[in-house]
Each structure stands twice: as structure tokens, then as C-alpha cells.
Amino acid sequence: MSISSRFSVGIHIITLIEINKDGVSTSEYLAESVNTNPAFIRKIMGMLKKAGLIKVQPGIAGAELAKDLLDITLLDVYKAVNVVKDNELFSIHDNPNPDCTVGRNIQNTIEPIFFTAQTAMEKVLESMTIKDVVKDIIEKEN
Amino acid sequence: MSISSRFSVGIHIITLIEINKDGVSTSEYLAESVNTNPAFIRKIMGMLKKAGLIKVQPGIAGAELAKDLLDITLLDVYKAVNVVKDNELFSIHDNPNPDCTVGRNIQNTIEPIFFTAQTAMEKVLESMTIKDVVKDIIEKEN
DNA sequence: CAACATGTAACTACAATGATTACATGTAAT
DNA sequence: ATTACATGTAATCATTGTAGTTACATGTTG
């Protein structure tokens, strides 16, 4: 199991739109950098648009950021591309036997632990912004 | 995407072996509590055994814990059942375009962030032991 | 040897992913 | 308005992982 690459592709897209802000970021242009096909990029762009992170319009070439770099966290992107449902990073087997001490309690016991673990992960994503990513890439280029 | 229920089932199995320590925990008995089939339970038991968490022997009915309750963390179980490969909770799209500033740096920029996030999640799992789970279940019964 | 449990392999149905094609919709320039 | 081109979106496909199930080989004990 791995969290879908839509997440890393989403980060790539937003980062490139910023770095290419003086140019026109079409789905074809972005697809070439990501190394996939334009339709897949457009699907993800649709999700980012729906989440209010980027601006795209039918018929008009190119995408722009809809928010300041500092106001787009990696958690925003993660949620936008719908890779993990709320509180469902871990799946819990269903219908354990209610006639068994463990069976009738395991779900309620495990659920808060999984929630805490998932939240800890998401907090890290929330602490990083696209600005951090852009900055790091620019530094790596020098 | 969700992390396989093998993880929660693994926790269930170990917990039940402990709570049923005066009885015999066969794969059939465990399967009934988990509400699945014995072969699936045996597959997971094989993983837990390989990881040194439980003791099982071909031909001999029942399983026992191989370690003290306090020494089995949820991270141990998580790693045992092989639900997420090391450093691969998040997948990163491969072969981004090296001719693009973003393409040639995105992987190296994102990788440590994802590692930090995954580690934060796993630290939570490491802080909880089967003893905590058993204790919570017993408390819930009263 | 009989009864029974574990260890595995094989097969199935199902769902998610990412690639790809195709086409409808929308915009702008001529 | 027609042409050129970009976005939006649906449909299809191959691949992969999951969980369920059956079957049987292997091992132990009475």
C-alpha cells in the first residue's frame, strides 16, 4: 500500500506553476515536466481548482495559483487530491464477533490510536508550505 | 487508499492470544473472533511468527506470545504484517523531466518531507503497546 | 494410522491506480 | 463564423493489492 502519487504530482504542478509564473502553464507543459499525459494532469488540476488552490478556465490556456505560496500547505494539496479519506488512513476489519471480549471492543479501542497516528502525520504536512518547496528547489539549483 | 486491515487484524490476534492465554488459540478460534477465515489468520500468524512476536508450531494447536506484552509495540505489529514498506507510505511519481528545474529536483525535495511525516505517524504506533490495548479492552468491559 | 492443526499455494472477485483515447465544451484571433 | 487550441470529462485498459476461499502437503499426538 502506498498513498497515491497524485499527491506528489499535485505538489509538482503547483510548484511548477509558481516557478513558471512568467510563462503559460498548460496541461501539456506540466505533463512534460511531470512525465505523464495531459489528461491525467487535467484531472488533478480539476481537484486543485475545486479545492481553491489554483485558477484554471475552460478554453483559456494556463493555470495560476489562487492563493499566496505561504497559504498553501502540503496538507491542503493532500486533501485536495483525495488520496486518503478523513480518518481512514488505516482500515479496520469490520464485523468482529460481538460474542468475544476482544471482538466487541477492538474497534473502539484501536480507532483513537489510529486517529492519533494519522493526525501526527498530517500535522507534518500542515507545517510545510509550497513556499518551502519552491525555496528548497531554488537552493538546490545553486 | 487505506493501509491494509492486516494491521488491525494482527493487533486483534495478538490481543486475543493474550486474553485467551488460559485457553488454546487456534487459527479457527481466532478467525471466529475476527470474523474471517482460518487461512487468512494463518497467513498473518505466519508474519507475526516471522517477526518474533508469537510462537506457533506446525501440527500443534494454538499460538502463544513470544514476548512480554509491554515489549510488543503497535509498530512491531505494523512492520510484521508488511502493510507499508520502509519509507514508502507516500509514493512519488518517477522519471520527472530532468530538463525542468522542478522536474530534476522535486524528488529530492519532497522525499525528506514525506519521510518526516511517515516517521511522525510511526512514532505514535511505537508509543503504544499491546498491553495498552489489552488494558483498554478490559476497562471497557467494566 | 487416525485425527487434527499449521503452512502454503492457487484461484477468485473486487477496488484503486495511472495511462491512454476520444470528444464535448469553451475562448480568442482572424 | 470559422479555425485553432485548451480545458473538462467520460470510457477503456493493464496492473496491482486485498481479502475470501478451497485444497492439500506437512507436522504432531494419541
CB-defined contacts A:B, below 8 A: 176
Q: CB-based contact (8 Å) between B142 and chain A?
A: no
pLDDT band at A5 (very low <50, low <70, confident <90, very high): very high
- B132 touches B124 (CB < 8 A): no
On whether residue A1 sits in a domain, the answer given is no
Task: Find, among B141, B84, B38, B16, the residue nearest to A84 by Cα.
Answer: B84
Total domain count for chain A? 1
Residue A67: strand, helix, or coil: coil
pLDDT at A142: 84
On whether residue A97 sits in a domain, the answer given is yes
Contact B93 A35 (CB under 8 A): yes
Q: Residue B134: which H helix or E strand, with range?
A: helix B130-141
pLDDT at B1: 82
Q: pLDDT (tens digit, 0 to 9) for every residue of chain B, 142 residues total?
A: 899 999 999 999 999 999 999 999 999 999 999 999 999 999 999 999 999 999 999 999 999 999 999 999 999 999 999 899 888 999 999 999 999 999 999 999 999 999 999 999 999 999 999 999 999 999 998 8
pLDDT digits (tens, 9 = 90+) for A47-106: 999 999 999 999 999 999 999 999 999 999 999 998 998 889 999 999 999 999 999 999
Q: CB-based contact (8 Å) between A69 and chain B?
A: no
Does any strand C atom come closer than 7 Å to the Cβ of B59? yes
On whether residue A23 sits in a domain, the answer given is yes
On whether residue A117 sits in a domain, the answer given is yes
pLDDT at A82: 86
pLDDT at A4: 96
- Measure B41 CA to D21 C1' (Å): 13
Cα separation of A104 and A102, whole Å?
6
On whether residue B103 sits in a domain, the answer given is yes
Percent of chain A, pLDDT > 90?
94
DSSP structural state of residue B70: G
On whether residue B1 sits in a domain, the answer given is no
Q: CB-based contact (8 Å) between B61 and chain A?
A: no
pLDDT at B40: 97
pLDDT at A86: 87
**A60 class by beta-carbon count within 10 Å (0-12 exposed, 13-18 middle, 19+ buried):** exposed
Q: Find and list the nucleotides of strand D having atoms within 7 Å of a protein beta carbon.
A: 5-11, 17-23, 26-29
On whether residue B108 sits in a domain, the answer given is yes
pLDDT at A1: 82
Enter the C-alpha cell of residue B94: 518517477
Give residue A73's domain range. 6-141
On whether residue B26 sits in a domain, the answer given is yes
Q: Give just the sign of the alpha carbon dihedral A83, B127, B78, B87.
A: positive
CATH number of the domain at A51, please: 1.10.10.10
